[in-house]
Structure 1
Amino acid sequence: MKSTQNWRKSFFTIYIGQGFSLLSSSAVQFSIIWWITMETGSAMALTIASVIGLLPQAVIGIFAGVWIDRYNRKKIMIIADSTVALSSLLLGFLFIIGIKSIVFVYIVLFIRALGETFHKPALQAVIPQLVPQSELTKAGGLGQMINSACSMAGPMLGAFLMSITSLQYALLVDVLGAIFAVITLSFVKIPKYTVNNGSQLSFIKDMKQGINAIKSSKALLRLSIPMLISTVIFVPLGTLLPLMVKEYFNGTAWHNGIVQTLFSSGMLIAAMVIGITGGLKKQFFMISLSTGLLGICALIGGILPAHLFWVFCFVVFVMGATGMGFNVPFTSYIQRTVPAENLGKVISLVTSIMSFAAPIGMFIAGPISEIIGVSSWMFYAGIVMIFVGILCYFLTREFDNQLYNEVMSNEK
């Protein structure tokens, strides 16, 4: 069994490096999107950028998991970080010599998203190789805490960089972040696991093995249903917040900044609490409870009078926190129960499905919000989420005691 000291040392070494990489990537991503906004002033240009950022995970992510399980995950992470850095370096060079084409910017956005498609599942698949099963939820909370902090600080850093310099020099920050991440990762010794060398199974059969791994887990299948519905509802809630602030509360960019910061702060603090405490021992119940609380928050947000903006701010903070309440234990359950040789495939497959669910949610929420208003959408979405939380509880409660006993026995 992995010792507490060893896993913490390796875990934090990896995440300190990845934190710097994520911070720099978040800053550069903001800088690129801001450059597109300033250069084109086109909503279509930004929409294309968003779609390009989504495509690799939604389409290639299904297949990426096979490579993640077949080959050295540490090397995959290093290659992914290095590829993203080189693409930023190349774009910076093109800008310096005067080639400022939005087509090249789109290509770099695609490469960045492609690197993330391999990097994130590989990182999640590596964690159970380092962390004892009883500590996986804590580790997931700590990892999400670092991710949330970097995602919150990244845009501010990006805004600062674009205020003092131009995009070509802001891109160099991404290179520095990637170099630091690769160096720290190189020092971490990751335990080996049995790798499918590709001669035993064809690529398609290997991918089917990942699908079968999901099918073989009755609890995971049942849990996936409310998680999928939650993604369809939750993503539009976060995306439509600026519209809610502007149209319903007659807010300004400053008000929207407060709301976005509070939403991210809720995620950060919830991740920190889960990272320190491990959350509720009955983790399926924690997922159900968080889903129901998100629904209650959305319902309250939808019926608040327009003059109670500061109450809405508190509601948004709690909404951000509840997202961690079902995301972290869901991921840790996959890490705990799926065999190491299939973990990359399963995480990539689940992430890809969620990536498809997110735009579906937007396609549903967008037109409905246009017709009935954003506040009404939040109200009805809240009702749906409350029922999803109840559904999740009844679908998974028979597995909760079993999971609770496993967690408690691993802690002894």
Structure 2
Amino acid sequence: MSHQCSEESTLPENGTVPGSASESTSAPSGGLALDPSETGWMQRAALLLTGQAFSLLGSSVVQFAIWWWIVLQTRTGSAMLLATLFGVLPQSLVSIFGGPMADRYNRKALIILPDLIIAGVTVLLSVSFALNWASLSLIFVVLLIRSAGGGIQQPAVQSFIPDVVPESKLLRVNAIFGVIDSANRIAAPALAAVLVNLVPLWAILLVDVTTAVIGVSFVALIRVPRAVVRNTAAQDSVVQSNTVQNDAVEARGSGATAGGTDSAAARPIAILRRTFADLKTGLAYAMHHPHLKGVILGDALTCLMSVAPMNLTLLLMTREYEGINLNLGFINLTTASDKLAANELGLSVGMLLGGALMSAIGPKLLNRSVAQMYAVALGIAMVGITVIGLGVSRNLLVYLIIDVLNGVASAVCVGPMRTVMQSESDESMVGRVFGLDTMLSTLGMPLGMLIFAPLADVIPIAWVFVAGGLLTLPVAWYVLMLSRRDVPQRA
């Protein structure tokens, strides 16, 4: 969850808000894109990152609490499967529209509005729990709305970063973003566990509402550089003009009459067609750009091959390490919950370390797009190798060390991936590129689960991890090959 609009905070019905921080920043001369002003970028980045930190923490705490409630109340795999589908698939499907929306509309508005809507439904869920009206079906509806909001918000957040941060600072900001995400992964389950033991669930749900308000307040303070606002105004007018013309054509093609009744009925169809046309344009654009094609398909295939098996860690721990204890001195891992907590902590610490490493040395070593693509390929290969290691390890301490390395590998991928998509996409296509990436990567995990989860009940679960890791290695090679191809120059 997260934040708010730019100088203007309302969405028009038929186009982009003039002055919004969204479309391409056409240059005054020389054909080069105008980079956001260097002046004040640190303040803008700090506001955005702080708002995201609060928003992510509240969302994660509530997400953990909801999932734990489902597990404790149902103790069935079918309920968890439904929770996964309602919590993941809507984001993937809605991102089809979220990417083009981030290119057409005010990005700050697309960041803040989902936060407010999600906060509203969370309040309703909290009230239902307080009055003992809550049910599993209501929780699934709330999970669906929360996931759908992420499908709009995530492309908007990633598209908004290049509007407020100079291109030379993108990798550093993305790496810090990764550190925040990793820190959240460490803090959220611990905080959720404490709150679950102290307060009822309806009160925990209000934590998300509070952090959403705080996050929105920080992002509302962000001022988009005037250069970006000024140079997008002309293109926004063109986009609006084209939108009106396209709507008129679609309305005539749908049998609009002079009375306007058919035109009004045809308008949602016209909007839907335009959205899919935007998605098609974004897909064609990304697939003709070797680096964008590499990071998008690399992200999706890695989620399919490696991230899906990683979601079977629960089964791996209970089957392979049952009865195996580990005394680390400061803590003794004896129960299944101890080991699962250590597994989550190891992965999160690894991502935190990897994000800090990329933030410290990434801007110096990875200041060219080819170097960033090499880092993506290396990170994907490391993910594959560490997933294999998790499968073949028979020592709990060795397993946890490999788990930390898996987190480092994931962080090595994420920062450069985001930077490539932000810096090599035309400004008018950034939202569509991120929407495409969100859609494919979020689809990859549940599709992989449909393949690997049944296999885990037929073959030893360690083999599932080995298979997933081995299938990930060719993905790294594919990204490496694409990194060596020439890329088209940005307009």
- The answer for the alignment partner of 1:129 in structure 2 is 163
* Root-mean-square deviation (Å): 2.1
Matched AA of 1:253: S
Residue in 2 aligned with 1:246? 318
Structure 1 pair 20–376 and aligned structure 2 pair: CA distance change class (3 A): same
Structure ranking higher in helix proportion = 1
1:152 aligns with 2:162: no
8 Å CA contact 1:73, 1:122 repeated in 2? yes
The residue aligned with 1:409 is none
Distance 2:388 2:73 in 1: 39
What does residue range 220-239 of structure 1 map to in structure 2 within 5 Å? 220-239=292-311
CA distance in 2, matches of 1:393, 1:216: 16
User: Equivalent residue for 1:173?
Assistant: 207
Aligned partners of 2:306 and 2:469 also within 8 Å:
no
SS in 2 for 1:98: coil
Give the corresponding residue for 1:86: 120
| Structure 2 residue 382 is matched with structure 1 residue 348 | no
Q: Compared with structure 1, are the counterparts of its residues 272 and 100 closer, same or farther at alpha carbon in structure 2 (3 Å cutoff)?
A: same
Which has the higher mean CA deviation after the structures are superposed, 47-56 or 199-208?
Answer: 199-208
The aligned counterpart of 2:16 is: none
Query: Partner residue of 2:147?
Result: 113
Query: Given residue 395 of structure 1, which amino acid in structure 2 is its aligned partner?
Result: L
2:447 is equivalent to residue 360 of structure 1: yes
CA distance in 2, matches of 1:224, 1:92: 37
Map Cα deviations across residues 281-335 of structure 1 (whole Å, 9 max, x no partner): 211111111122222222333333x2x2101110111011111222221121011
1:200 positional shift: 5.2
SS at match of 2:224: coil
Specify the alignment match of 1:217 in structure 2. 289
Is the aligned partner of 1:383 residue 2:467? no
Q: Tell me if structure 2 keeps the 8 A contact 1:137–1:329.
A: yes
- Map of 1:294 onto structure 2: 383
Would the alpha carbon gap of residues 209 and 295 (structure 1) be closer, same or farther in structure 2, given more than 3 Å must change?
closer
Contact 2:291 2:373 in 1 (8 A): no
What is the alpha-carbon distance in structure 1 between the residues aligned to residue 478 and residue 411 of structure 2?
A: 19
Unpaired runs of 5+ residues, structure 1, are 407-412
Alpha-carbon offset, residue 4 of structure 1 = 5.0
Structure 1 residues 209, 398: closer, same or farther in 2, change over 3 A?
A: closer
2:296 is equivalent to residue 207 of structure 1: no
1 CA distance for matches of 2:173 and 2:69?
A: 36
**Which position in structure 2 is the counterpart of 1:184?**
218
8 Å CA contact 1:74, 1:190 repeated in 2: no
Change (3 A) 1:229 1:114: closer
Which AA in structure 1 matches 2:470?
I
Residue 226 of structure 1: how far off its partner (Å): 3.4
Cα deviation, residue 3, structure 1? 5.1
* Distance in 2 of aligned mates of 1:204 and 1:310: 49
Matches within 5 A, 1:42-57: 42-57=76-91
1:393 pairs with 2:485: no
Write the deviation string for residues 369-409 of structure 1: whole angstroms up to 9, x where unpaired.
Answer: 3333121222233333233323332332345xx89xx9xxx
Q: Distance in 1 between matches of 2:108 and 2:298?
A: 32
Are residues 382 and 105 of structure 1, via their aligned partners in 2, closer, same or farther at CA, if it must alter by over 3 Å? Answer: closer
Using structure 2 for the length normalisation, give the TM-score: 0.77
Alpha-carbon offset, residue 169 of structure 1: 1.0
1:223–1:395 contact (8 Å) kept in structure 2: no
Worse-matched range after superposition: 293-302 or 127-136: 293-302
Does residue 261 of the first structure (1) align with residue 345 of the second (2)? yes
Verify: 1:326 aligned to 2:413, yes or no.
yes
Q: What is the aligned residue count?
A: 400
Compared with structure 1, are the counterparts of its residues 41 and 383 closer, same or farther at alpha carbon in structure 2 (3 Å cutoff)?
Answer: closer
Point out where structure 2 has 5 or more consecutive residues left out of the alignment: 1-34, 247-273, 325-335
Q: Secondary structure at the match of 1:188?
A: coil
Give CA-to-partner distance per residue, 1:164-214, whole Å, 9 cap, x none: 111111111111101101111111012433443332554343333322321
Following superposition, the deviation at residue 111 of structure 1 comes to: 1.4
* Larger Rg over CA atoms: 2
Over 3 Å counting, the alpha-carbon distance change for 1:2 and 1:67 in structure 2 is closer
Q: CA deviation at 1:5?
A: 5.7
Asked if residue 276 in structure 1 is aligned to residue 360 in structure 2, the reply is: yes
Q: Which moved more, 1:244-253 or 1:13-22?
A: 244-253
Equivalent of 2:461, from 374, 378, 394?
374
Q: Contact 1:223/1:396 (CA < 8 Å) preserved in 2?
A: no
Structure 1 CA distance, aligned partners of 2:450 and 2:275? 33
- Work out the CA distance in 2 between the residues paired with 1:88 and 1:52: 15
TM-score by length of 1: 0.91
- Residues of 2 paired with 1:19 and 1:200: CA distance? 41
Contact 1:287–1:330 under 8 Å retained in 2: yes
